[in-house]
Amino acid sequence: MNKFLGVSKTWRGLPTQLFLLVILPFAFLALAATLMSVGLHQNAMRTMVAERDLRAVETSANFLKSKIQSEQDVANVLAMQSDAKLTLEAFVAEHDYGRKNLALFSAQGNLLAFSGESKAKSGLAQLSLNPEEIQTLELTGEKLLVFTARSKSGAYAVNLVPLEPLVREVIGSGFVMSGDAAAFLMNPNGEVLVRIGNQNWEGDPAQHPGVTEALGGQSGFAYMSAPTMEHVVAYSPVSSPGGHTWALLIEEPWEAVDTPYLRLTQFAPLILIPLLAFTLVAIWFGVSQVVVPLQKLEKRAADLAWGNFSAIENPVGGVQEIRQLQHELIHMAQKVQDAQRGLRDYIGAITRGQEDERRRLARELHDETLQALIALRQRVQLAQMKAKDDEIKLALAELETLSSNSIDELRRLTRALRPIYLEDFGLVTALEMLAKESTRPGFTVDFSKTGDDRRLEAAAELTLFRIAQEALSNVSRHAEATETHLGLEFQPATVTLEISDNGKGFTPPRSPAEFSPGGHYGLLGMHERAELIGGKLSIESAPGQGTVLRVDLLT
């Protein structure tokens, strides 16, 4: 029944209703509409770009074919005119071919005449005069198409045409090159003859999508993945004289193309702006008025668990329910503070009584028991000097050793009960002696002091000493450590005591309220002692990573 009531209250709470009835439905609706619009936009764009590029590449391929045939006709006409004894200069002047690279060769392959650029003339020696095919000639990084025709008299007419300008003219007639688009012309061997654009193909160009199909005489388009976005590749064959087939390809990222229709589908989600705005306002309200105040309240509650009662009084804001919860926590904190104040007075009285009892016990042990043992050892020494029997002397020697050990142990016990070094020389000397006395084989304790040391109030020095005693005792009994560091740092306004070890560590409690249920009574005692003098105890530890215990005290 209680569980059902808890679920019912949770359902009636403002955050749950706000999320389930407002934010969640609108978020799903906005997401579905946006995804649908984006999907329509992408499909329309992919199809449009692919079809447009296919028409462009087919148009460009046909135009290139006609241009190739036209350039071949120039060579054919020059060959016929050479039979009519028309000189090359007269042929160029008659047909206005001043910008073309034309040459006439004899039947034996000797150059008779040339008209055109000098760099093109330098490559004529590389030619093999073959009218049956179109050759490609590369000069200083530029590829030239070589069109050859033979006259009836056996002479050869040659027309050398720069390939890249020809392809640029052809592509530009049917396709507008954008910054990310590229065009490629490939020969039957799968080699790139011309590349226009900034794109480069990795790997074997013959394996690029569309190359095999175009060289096989097919036209079409394909999609391929790219590092940044998907590309569309349109391809078409180009037939050349001699029965050879070239491949012309146009490639571009289809997302870089835009049209009014596609812009309309892209901006379709704008109709959801009022809906999304309302959803965002609801989310903002939930976060600013519910989530953030709850997070602040959680942090203040954690500070409250460590004894910071003033933190809970800082307003966290939020809805009425959260403010009411904070008010109840403040009221509870005041009651806890009153109870802890009384408990602290009681613990302080017990601690003072305990210290008084320790001093009384130490004084009695020192003044009575210790003196009696010293007197006993002296009498044994006198008896040992008077004894003549060796067995009696041996027994008295053993008795003297036993009494000496007892005296040393009793002195150590009295120093632990009443730290004389603390009373006479101060906290630094007392902690240094404590470190030396705690060191034993397999367990070393080193002490360090930083800053300018000064005497503190007697209660504060005694408390820090007792905390160090308890901490070293815990390390010795539970930590399985081999090295421990005891440090004391003096700052102008603070004093910090730190005990660190290389032991097995543990998971420290999240708050002092967990000390007792977890069996950490030593930590609880140290925490209470630190609070009695206005100090703050902090613990840093994790399994397998050792432990660091700090006490910070304002002076």
Count CB atoms within 10 A of the CB of residue 131.
18
User: Pairing mode, if any, of strands 135-139 and 494-501?
Assistant: unpaired
The count of domains in the chain is 2
Instruction: In whole angstroms, give the CA distance from residue 213 to residue 246.
Output: 11
* Confidence at residue 42, expressed as pLDDT on a 0 to 100 scale: 72
Longest dimension (CA), the chain: 157
Is there a domain that residue 212 lies in?
A: yes
Query: What confidence tens digit (pLDDT) does each residue in 249-285 have?
Result: 988 887 766 555 555 555 555 566 676 677 777 777 7
Model confidence, pTM: 0.44
Is residue 449 in a domain? yes
Give me the residues of the chain with pLDDT under 70, please: 1-24, 26-27, 30-35, 37-39, 41, 84, 86, 96, 98, 173-179, 241-242, 256-273, 275-276, 305-307, 309, 337-349, 351-352, 355-356, 362, 366, 415-416, 418, 513, 516-518
Asked, for residue 539, whether it belongs to a domain, the answer is yes
Element (H, E) at 246: strand 244-253
Residue 431 lies in a domain: yes
Give pLDDT, residue 447. Answer: 94
Residue 387 inside a domain? The answer is no
What's 281-300 look like in SS3? HHHHHHHHHHHHHHHHHHHH
Where would I find the H helices in 135-221?
163-174, 211-215
pLDDT the model gives residue 383: 82
Residues 6+ apart with CB under 8 A from 398: none
Task: State how far the Cα of 38 lies from the Cα of 33, in Å rounded to an integer.
Answer: 9
Domain limit, last residue, from 211, 237, 261: 261
Q: Is residue 18 part of a domain?
A: no
Q: Tell me the residue type at 308.
A: N
Contacts of 478 (CB under 8 A, 6+ apart): 503
Residue 222 is assigned to a structural domain of this protein: yes
Residue 179 CB-half CA count within 13 A: 2
End-to-end CA distance of the chain: 55
**Secondary structure (DSSP) of 253-272:** EGGG---HHHHHHHTGGGGG
| Per-residue model confidence (pLDDT) at position 6 | 42
What pLDDT score was predicted for residue 98?
63
Of 230, 261, 292, the residue that ends a domain is 261
State the pLDDT at residue 223.
87
The burial class, CB within 10 Å (0-12 / 13-18 / 19+), for 551 is buried
Closest CA to 329 of 306, 311, 344: 311
**Which pLDDT does position 139 carry in this prediction?**
77
pLDDT of 513 reads 67
CATH for 528? 3.30.565.10
| CATH code where residue 190 lies | 3.30.450.20
Total Cβ atoms within 10 A of residue 407: 17
* pLDDT at 4 (0 to 100): 40
Structural domain harbouring 228: 165-261
Alpha-carbon distance of 504 to 543, in angstroms, equals: 6
Domain boundary among 261, 278, 307: 261
Predicted pLDDT of residue 8? 46
Structure token digits, residue 284? 């903002």
